[in-house]
Amino acid sequence: MGSAAHARASSSPSADCAGLAVKVAVAGASGYTGLELLRIVQRHPQLELAAATSEQRAGQGIGEAFPALRGLFSQAFEPLHPERLAGRAEAAFVCLPHASAAPVVAALRAQGLRVVDLSADFRLRDRALYEEWYGPHKAPELFGQAVYGLPEVYREELRGAALIAAAGCYPTGALLPMLPLLRAGVVRPAPIAVDAKSGVSGAGRSLQEGYLFGELDSNLRAYKVAAHRHAPEMEQEARRAAEAGGASGAVSVTFVPQLLPVIRGIATTVFLHCAREFSAAQARELLQAAYADAPFVRVLPEGETPSLSAVRGSNFCDVGVFADERSGLLVCLSALDNLVKGASGQAVQCLNLACGWPETLGLEEAPLTP
């Protein structure tokens, strides 16, 4: 994969950090994904927090601003100045909005830091497609150089990578159940329908009417129907899997996101048309084989459906599969915590692989139950 070769350029940090503690910076640390990263870094045996940046909270102690973290960190939030992180940090997580992240990533890479970007700025491989959905790219010199951060698919490419584009939360929930089936050539690459329901934390801390408690509680609504910018990311990865399975022709994903009245979690349903007669039992066996060495993907037994409560607060993604024989459809289900496997946990999983550590390091927290 060409992007992996770029990401392992000679200016990259050492590919193997095994046995060494790595100092990390979290850019945008006062947002939901940033705070989740702080929680994970605090318990990670090989990571040490060097800096947590926040323009809004600059000067405030981390525990002062967020009492849940009181006593766990001695640092205060600071403004983001990439050049001041050189020598203080060896790696950085960038938790900034799409388009705003790219120049920060470029500046951090120029300082020699290994970077895991949680925005969409480096996920797509087609620059014209990126600019169609997000506008002009603000670090074109790095476009196409990142390894796509879905460890279950790109585990080998992530080893030693210096620039990683962590997969999006919605795409993770959709891709993990569908990619093995596409690679095996047992389902058609078009049409694919994805319905995903997310907790409100996926929208970050933005203050919008639709995210107010009075609007959200006891409610459910779709938004950006067939017009959400995560659809191209799903299609990109589905196309690669379908081509590996020998399929030709267009890949199309119709994506309908919906907002759930919960804080954490994404429940996803993927509808796939079988290319030949194929049972749910066969599909389950295929998924089990594909994820036999994937510590965070749990393929559920026959008849069991994924639930948000079984993954909340964890890096697990639970996957189930059913068949509708009348219509020739496979119905794949998944559940994950959008702030962990959908964002911060996945980012740490990627960094673990890049540093030569076990991918489970710092991530073996059991789901919060009840």
Of 203, 190, 263, 201, nearest to 231 by C-alpha is 190
The active-site residue out of 95, 169, 317, 355 is 169
Give one DSSP letter per residue of 158-225, joined into a string: HTT-SEEEEPPHHHHHHHHHHHHHHHTT-B-SSSEEEEEEE-GGGGTT---GGGSHHHHTT--EE-ST
Beta carbons within 8 Å of 335's beta carbon, 6+ residues apart: 173, 265, 266, 267, 268, 306, 307, 308, 310, 311, 317, 318
Catalytic residue flag (residue 317): no
Name the burial class of residue 316, with classes exposed (0-12), middle (13-18) and buried (19+) by CB atoms within 10 angstroms of its CB.
Answer: buried
Q: Could you give the count of Cα atoms lying within 13 Å of 196 in the half-sphere of its Cβ?
A: 35
List residues with catalytic annotation.
169
